[in-house]
Amino acid sequence: MKTLYLSIICILFGTALFAQDYTQTIRGKVTDQDTKQALISVNVVIPDRENFTGTTTDMDGSFRLENIPVGRVTLRFSFIGYKPVELQNLDLTTGKELVLEIEMTESVSQLNEVTIKATEGGDRVLNEMATVSARSFSVEESQRFAGARNDVSRMASNFAGVNTANDAVNDIVVRGNSPLGVLWRLEGIDIFNPNHFGAAGVTGGPVSMLNNNTLSNSDFLTGAFPAMYGNSTSGVFDLHMRNGNNENHEFMGQIGFNGFELGAEGPLNKEKGSSYIANYRYSVLGLMDEIGLNPGTGVGVPKYQDISMRFNFPNTKLGHISLFAIGGQNSIDFKNSGTAVEDLEDDFYTDGDEDLYNSNYMGVVGATQTLSWSDKTYSKLIVSAQIAQNNVEIDSLAGDQRTPTPQYRSGDRQEKLSGHFYVNHKRDATNVFRAGVMADFNRVNLRDSVFLASENGFRTLTDEQGNAPLLRAYGQWKHSFSDELVLNLGLYSQHFTLNGATSFEPRAGLKWEFKPRHTLSAGYGLHSQLAPLGVYFRETRLNGGYVQTNTQLDFQRSQHVVLGYGYQFENGLEFKAETYLQSIDRVPVEESASSYSLLNAGSFGTEIRDSLQNGGSGRNIGIDLTLQKPFARGNYFIVNASLYDSKYEGSDGVERNTAFNGNFLVNAVAGKEWKISGDAAKNKKTINADLKLTAAGGQRYSDIDAAASMEAQNTVLDDSNPYSNQFKTYFRADIRIGYKVHFKKLSQEWAIDVQNVTDNQNPLAVTYDWRTGSERIINQLGIFPMLQYRITF
């Protein structure tokens, strides 16, 4: 097998030596950002070429530049009355046309000269109504950043205030908040947890179902977000899928940590401009296990597969129609039966005394309709159907023979029909209005039971089917006093029909460029969120029957206040500072005095208790600092530091550290790209190296109750003073090296991504070994090299 791999690589490298000068086509469409109307006669030029290369958009807003040498390209768009747009260092390859969708913003001060600013900078977001704590990210960033694993969640950990100091999952901890506060939105609709091996009601997992080969540039917001986002208290991923090539069929193959991938895109009807894009992925480790190879993952082998697709119909009688879908299924079994105690491997999930079988699937299908009512008004309708299923079986192992005995069974299922309709109206260059309504018709089917030897059978903990619709409405107004001063005001409201809970939430944001290159920003928002739906249907056994004790829980509520300052240096460097205060109330806690709070819930270890009330509180305070250089002249870097404090109070009224209070976070990511083709015009081969360094406050953990753990023969924590301990500082260094070669009709890339290259032993959790009567620390991922090969043609 190794000989075959080496032969293939030698052939590919040898072929590259005889490559010719290669070119590619750049094309796309330019529209008004607020009205989505095509802009005619926009100037499109490549400013860094010796000979002038440019064109203008046609009656449909479309443009085309042909025979452009492959490599890094900068494009500049200018149009009278609009703010110029510059896209720097776009990666043009032979294997794929560069198809762009450009939105331009009308200038308020049309007679004044407007300074050209690169859209690749960290401040610009796709949603112009997001004023503070927002950043756009490109698909290339998720592919290029070391340690990102082609995962947008892990890529977002490079941003200030975002902590993912847990190698096992891609949980997003924003400014000390629980990852449950993060909202995932795809194509304008809120979706279930889009991660493999993620339980119902959580937001993270070890591997993402979202495939960055089908995603487009998207937004990530970390506080005081505008009124079109709701049912979230900490952060928002606003994701978009890209359209397929509507003129030529293109294909992609990829092998890496995330799996074997195959992708295709192309036209459905060239005359009408319709297209498709689809990508399928299957777990590498799962395939190795199925063909009899040892994947080296111990007792548990993760098996998963997923698919994502989008069909685009831009010119129909009903307007612009698109269909989209993502879905995935996964399973992992931790089977310790048949293994002697002395031969057990470290197993954080089962402690070696259980067989655990876990399987999940999740799917979303949806459709969008964009309809232009006039040159100033358009509407958009998004509808979707979703399903998520999580199954867990646990068998305990007892006796010398370690015979499996049933212990726990669960099967949680959630279904959701969603609709989102809004109207966007641009009265003039200074005023843009958006108003919308959303409806989520949730249906839950929650079942779990525990085996009790005294009853010689399973006792039902939850057996509930029910509907829990959530109705929402919002309005947002953007007013531009000038190109330098912009105000955003909004109001969001939601109503939970299960118990009649209602909220009204004002939002406000202000951005002021008070001097050239100097920007001040401020934001305020009242944000509320439901608890995971399983919390509301939790059942308690009383007097021989079952009673639901959590159905009357109100929304958890959070107030955000953010102040920011930004400065853009002449050499392209950008500095940004944001300080924030977040006050949280109505947090679900126990009715009796205890330290429990839902603010400490995450992907693993999320405990749902009965008899909860909205009596808890919390607060997060901190400052985020960022210095960055967007990719230019073959290099980039981002350095950020965050200092924060995250506290909570349970029903006992005692203030404590939350589970996510790391106190500090420092990230540094940098990269360099070298051309190795000799003549810059040929530019057929490149090498890139990327480095990421992370230092963060260690994980918080609780003391172990040794006596209770010995009696239960399992780890039992001391709830009297939770999260009072903290592991040593988390440190990790990741390195990625890639090599790209262009052929006449295809491009290939090889990469090695070595995570935790220093093999630093970062603690994850502490458990109790009842056999030895001692505590044991479970460490996180050690040095972990990953190889990737990618071909596009």
Q: Quote the tokens at residue 727.
A: 């592991």
CA distance 34 to 7: 53
- Report the pLDDT value the prediction gives residue 324, as an integer from 0 to 100: 98
pLDDT at 286: 74
Torsions phi, psi for 489 (to 5 deg)? -125, 140
| Over residues 132-159, mean pLDDT | 82
| C-alpha distances in Å from residue 275, one per residue of 101, 173, 263, 594 | 14, 37, 14, 57
Mean pLDDT within 248-275: 93
pLDDT of residue 350: 57
pLDDT (0 to 100) of residue 170: 83
Q: Pick from 394-403, 594-603, 618-627, 628-637 the range whose average pLDDT is largest.
A: 618-627
Which is higher by pLDDT, 566 or 109?
566
Least confident of 368-377, 451-460, 486-495, 614-623: 451-460
**Mean per-residue pLDDT, 300-329:** 93
CA-CA distance, 346 to 344, in Å (whole number)?
A: 7
Question: 10 Å Cβ neighbour count for 507?
Answer: 27
Position 368 scores a pLDDT of 98
Q: Which residue has the higher pLDDT, 462 or 269?
A: 269
Compute CA distances 40 → 32, 63, 99, 425, whole Å. Answer: 10, 10, 18, 20
| b (16+ CB within 10 A) / e for 708-717 | ebeeeeebbb
Residue 200's pLDDT is: 62
Among 21-30, 105-114, 673-682, 762-771, top mean pLDDT goes to: 21-30
Q: Which run of H or of E encompasses 777? A: strand 774-779
Please give the Cα distance from 197 to 228 (Å, whole number).
29
Q: Name the band, by pLDDT with cuts 50, 70 and 90, for residue 112.
A: very low
pLDDT of residue 528: 97
Task: Identify which has the larger pLDDT, 622 or 143.
Answer: 622
Given a cut of 70, whether residue 584 has pLDDT beyond it is yes
Q: For residue 152, what pLDDT is reported?
A: 82
Stronger pLDDT, 706 or 224, i.e. the higher one: 224
**Does residue 498 come out as left (phi exceeding 0), alpha (psi in the -120 to 50 range) or beta?**
alpha
The average pLDDT across 592-613 equals 84
CA distance 185 to 192: 9
